[in-house]
């Protein structure tokens, strides 16, 4: 990655996209950040606006655009249930029509594309942990299916464009990721727990709290994405899981957040949402083998950094 590239990051003002833009600028690439600001925020990339290597475009990927670039990271899509269920039809359009526009552009300008897929393609899995060879168990007509099925269709589109048109694609299946710049109101479990603990409120756990997730710190994830984009081995077009295999119950996560914040608030339980997976843990052996990648940041360390970021932003919000 020593040669300077011109790189498009769709969804570049979002949580993951903004961290990716930071890393690409650090590596001295030219970055075009494209975002419609549905869940992204200018605040996330404000520090880059005066850098000559960075360009910000307000645009929705469901509308065609043509840019001369070398690489495209397609991260455009709301990723938390509260956001992707707000307008489920638009969510599917973003995953499918948006990606069709990106792949069409990549074919025309001969750009490499990395598609941000998700562990949600595995649904509520019967195989644990989940390897890339597992085809998943997804409810095709459930309230989460706009995201799950949209991302599954997107993977199929990537491979069809690769097989039919020679488009150079990469597919990363992202497992639960957390860190600074997560939206305060994104409705996902880490941000929910931290905001509730910092505000001195009881922590809400859905179900009995025994369901598990594996949480990857954002810096680890971005490193994995960059390695996959640069990888040119024989499995480069195959999906790669990027996630931290450390598995925690929701009750364990709530207790850790309370401890790190210094909160003594109780944990309260509410009914589990429809189609919520009981277990989620990546088999990251393919990424270890091909990319020499593995998660390095422990949950306690990552949560501490995330809590400090949330504490600062909540204080600014309260002072406004």
Question: What pLDDT does residue 2 have?
Answer: 58
φ, ψ (nearest 5 deg) of residue 267: -100, 125
**For residue 32, with 0-12 CB atoms within 10 Å meaning exposed, 13-18 middle and 19 or more buried, which class applies?**
buried
Let me know if 147 is a catalytic residue: yes
Q: Which residues are CB-neighbours of 25 under 8 A, at least 6 positions away?
A: 31, 48, 51, 53, 54
CA 291 distance to own-chain centroid: 19
Q: What are the strands, taking DSSP E only, across 104-150?
A: 112-118
pTM over 0.85: yes
Dmax (CA) for the chain in angstroms is: 58
Residue pair 119/247 in contact by the 8 Å Cβ criterion: no
C-alpha–C-alpha distance, residues 216 and 159, integer Å: 26
**Domains of the chain in sequence order:** 6-179+216-245+279-296 (3.40.50.720)
Catalytic residue among 122, 147, 161, 178: 147
C-alpha–C-alpha distance, residues 204 and 82, integer Å: 15
C-alpha–C-alpha distance, residues 22 and 217, integer Å: 15
Q: Are β-strands 112-118 and 216-217 bridged in parallel, bridged antiparallel, or unpaired? A: unpaired
Residue-by-residue pLDDT tens, the chain, 320 positions = 458 999 999 999 999 999 999 999 999 999 999 999 999 999 999 999 999 999 999 999 999 999 999 999 999 998 877 787 878 999 999 999 999 999 999 999 999 999 999 999 999 999 999 999 999 999 999 998 999 999 999 999 999 999 999 999 999 999 999 999 999 988 899 999 999 999 999 999 999 999 999 999 999 999 999 999 999 999 999 999 999 999 999 999 999 999 999 999 999 999 988 767 788 899 999 999 999 999 999 999 999 999 999 999 999 988 87
Q: Among the residues of the chain, which ranges form H helices?
A: 15-26, 81-84, 88-93, 99-109, 145-165, 189-198, 218-230, 250-261, 285-291, 299-319
């Amino acid at each position: 990655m020593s040669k300077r590239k011109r790189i498009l990051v769709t969804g570049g003002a979002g949580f993951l996209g903004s961290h990716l833009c930071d890393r690409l600028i650090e590596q001295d690439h030219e970055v075009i950040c494209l975002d419609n600001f549905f869940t992204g925020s200018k605040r996330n990339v404000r520090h880059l606006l005066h850098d000559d290597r960075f360009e910000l475009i307000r645009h929705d990927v469901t509308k065609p655009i043509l840019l001369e670039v070398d690489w495209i990271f397609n991260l455009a899509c709301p990723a938390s249930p509260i956001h992707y269920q707000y307008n489920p039809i638009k969510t599917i359009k973003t995953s499918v029509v948006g990606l069709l526009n990106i792949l069409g552009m990549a074919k025309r300008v001969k750009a490499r594309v990395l598609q941000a897929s998700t562990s949600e393609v595995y649904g509520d899995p019967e195989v644990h942990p989940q390897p890339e060879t597992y085809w998943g168990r997804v409810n095709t007509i459930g309230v989460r299916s706009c995201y799950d099925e949209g991302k599954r269709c997107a993977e199929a589109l990537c491979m069809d464009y690769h097989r039919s048109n020679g488009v150079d694609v990469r597919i990363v299946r992202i497992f639960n990721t957390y860190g600074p710049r997560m939206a305060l109101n994104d409705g996902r479990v880490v941000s929910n727990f931290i905001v509730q603990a910092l505000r001195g409120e009881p922590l809400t756990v859905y179900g009995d709290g025994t369901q598990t997730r594996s949480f990857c710190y954002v810096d680890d994830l971005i490193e994995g994405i960059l390695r996959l984009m640069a990888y040119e081995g024989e499995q480069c077009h195959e999906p790669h899981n990027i996630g931290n295999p450390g598995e925690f119950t929701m009750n364990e996560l709530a207790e850790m957040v309370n401890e790190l914040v210094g909160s003594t608030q109780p944990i309260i339980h509410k009914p589990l949402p429809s189609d919520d997976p009981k277990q989620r843990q990546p088999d990251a052996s393919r990424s270890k083998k091909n990319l020499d990648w593995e998660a390095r940041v422990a949950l306690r360390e990552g949560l501490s950094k995330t809590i400090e970021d949330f504490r600062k932003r909540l204080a600014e919000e309260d002072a406004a």
